[in-house]
């Protein structure tokens, strides 16, 4: 699948732009967060690091990151960036949520999320070949959003960015030249590892090394064969394990969360409700014999 085959109807939720690295403290971390929407972050300058789930990238000018929903990210100063937060498929049910704008950066949204969890066919990280073109498009999106919010014109520019990215990938990546189906056994091995111990704090690098694939190709092949991203699959398996423990054991909800690989309780509650439609306590009360 490529982006031409996807019927995108993007909605800009929020944008940030900060190049003032002179005022940043080298080595200081931004607060870790888990993405609620889809995000594109373009690095304009600096030399910090970006931790995406469990993979750390040394930043350089022209780095472009794609964060699907449920991606944990931690940036370490100094670096300049332009960040675009968007929903690739506009959903009227999300309209109130869209209006909360900046809250998309945190965990304090006040309404339910109906954002598509499916990742776009974009690598998590590339370094673009034409820095000036990308910076111009990112700045145009940011300026338009600050001035007008989500408008048809800004939507068109965002689509232009995605098209530029598709062109970039066709030039610089040979991912699509492989038949992912020929790597079926390796993906099944990856799945078996996750199924055996979903609570393990896997890094993308570890999973890719285990099956002898590059990180980008593993992400692409896994999504094509399984239908969900690797980390969405891990979340599903952790929630399945938590559901079983809630019914079959006397362990506290906090003990179950930690046993299933969730270090943050609020995140566990959010993920559990997202996948089951119920809170852990209500699920236990309803299904326990």
Q: Are residues 37 and 153 in the same domain?
A: yes
Q: Report the candidate in 83, 74, 31 with the shortest Cα–Cα distance to residue 54.
A: 74
The edge-to-edge listing of strands for the beta sheet with 49-52 is 33-34, 72-76, 49-52, 55-58
Q: What's 259's domain CATH number?
A: 1.10.10.60
Let me know whether 87 and 136 are in one domain. Answer: yes
The pLDDT score that the predictor gives to residue 171 is 64
* 168 and 122 in a common domain: yes
Give the CATH number of the domain where residue 105 resides.
2.60.120.280
Residues 140 and 204 occupy one common structural domain: no
Tokens 């300058």 -> residue: 45
39 plus 160 within the same structural domain: yes
* 26 and 149 in a common domain: yes
Please give the Cα distance from 239 to 244 (Å, whole number): 9
The helix or strand, by DSSP H or E, that contains position 225, with its residue range, turns out to be helix 215-226
Residues 6 or more apart from 160 whose CB is under 8 A from it? 137
Among the candidates 153, 172, 191, a domain finishes at: 172
Specify whether 23 is located in the same domain as 74: yes
Q: What letter does residue 89 receive in the DSSP assignment?
A: B
Residues 30 and 127 both lie in one domain? yes
pLDDT in tens, 239-254: 999 999 999 999 999 9
pLDDT at 55: 84
CA–CA separation, 61 vs 70, rounded Å? 25
Q: Which domain range does residue 119 map to? A: 3-172
- Cβ-based neighbour number of residue 85 at 10 Å: 24
Pair 151, 264 in one domain: no
Query: Is residue 123 a contact partner of residue 219, using CB atoms and an 8 Å limit?
Result: yes
Q: Which residues contact 272 (CB under 8 A, 6 or more apart)?
A: 239, 242, 278, 279, 280, 283
Q: Give pLDDT, residue 119.
A: 65
Find all residues with CB under 8 Å of 156, minimum gap 6, and list them.
none
At residue 97, the pLDDT reads 79
When divided into structural domains, the chain yields a total of 3
The pLDDT value given to residue 181: 52
Intervals of the chain under pLDDT 50: 1-6, 109-112, 173-180
Sign, CA torsion 270/274/279/283: negative
- Nearest partner of 233 among 278, 188, 178, judged by Cα: 188
Residues 268 and 206 in one domain: no
Same structural domain for residues 29 and 154?
yes
**Are both 149 and 211 inside the same structural domain?**
no
The pLDDT value given to residue 150: 81
């Amino acid at each position: 699948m490529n982006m031409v085959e996807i019927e995108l109807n993007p909605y800009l939720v929020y944008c940030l732009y900060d190049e003032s690295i002179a005022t940043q403290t080298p080595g200081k971390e931004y607060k870790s967060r888990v993405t609620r929407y889809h995000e594109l972050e373009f690095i304009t300058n600096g030399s910090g690091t970006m931790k995406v789930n469990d993979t750390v990238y040394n930043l350089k000018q022209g780095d472009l990151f794609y964060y699907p929903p449920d991606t944990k990210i931690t940036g370490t100063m100094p670096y300049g960036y332009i960040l675009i937060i968007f929903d690739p498929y506009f959903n009227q049910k999300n309209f109130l949520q869209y209006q909360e704008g900046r809250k998309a950066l945190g965990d304090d949204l006040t309404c339910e999320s109906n954002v598509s969890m499916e990742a776009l066919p974009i690598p998590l990280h590339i370094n673009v070949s034409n820095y000036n073109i990308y910076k111009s498009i990112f700045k145009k999106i940011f300026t338009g959003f600050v001035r007008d919010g989500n408008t048809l014109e800004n939507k068109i520019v965002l689509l232009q960015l995605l098209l530029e990215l598709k062109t970039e990938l066709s030039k610089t990546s040979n991912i699509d030249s492989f038949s992912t189906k020929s790597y079926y056994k390796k993906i099944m091995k990856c799945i078996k590892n996750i199924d055996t111990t979903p609570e393990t704090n896997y890094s993308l690098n570890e999973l890719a090394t285990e099956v002898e694939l590059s990180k980008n190709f593993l992400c692409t092949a896994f999504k094509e064969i399984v239908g969900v991203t690797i980390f969405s699959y891990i979340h599903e398996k952790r929630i399945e394990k938590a559901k079983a423990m809630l019914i079959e054991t006397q362990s506290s909800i906090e003990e179950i969360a930690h046993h299933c690989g969730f270090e943050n309780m609020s995140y566990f509650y959010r993920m559990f409700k997202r996948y089951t439609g119920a809170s852990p306590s209500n699920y236990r009360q309803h299904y326990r014999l």
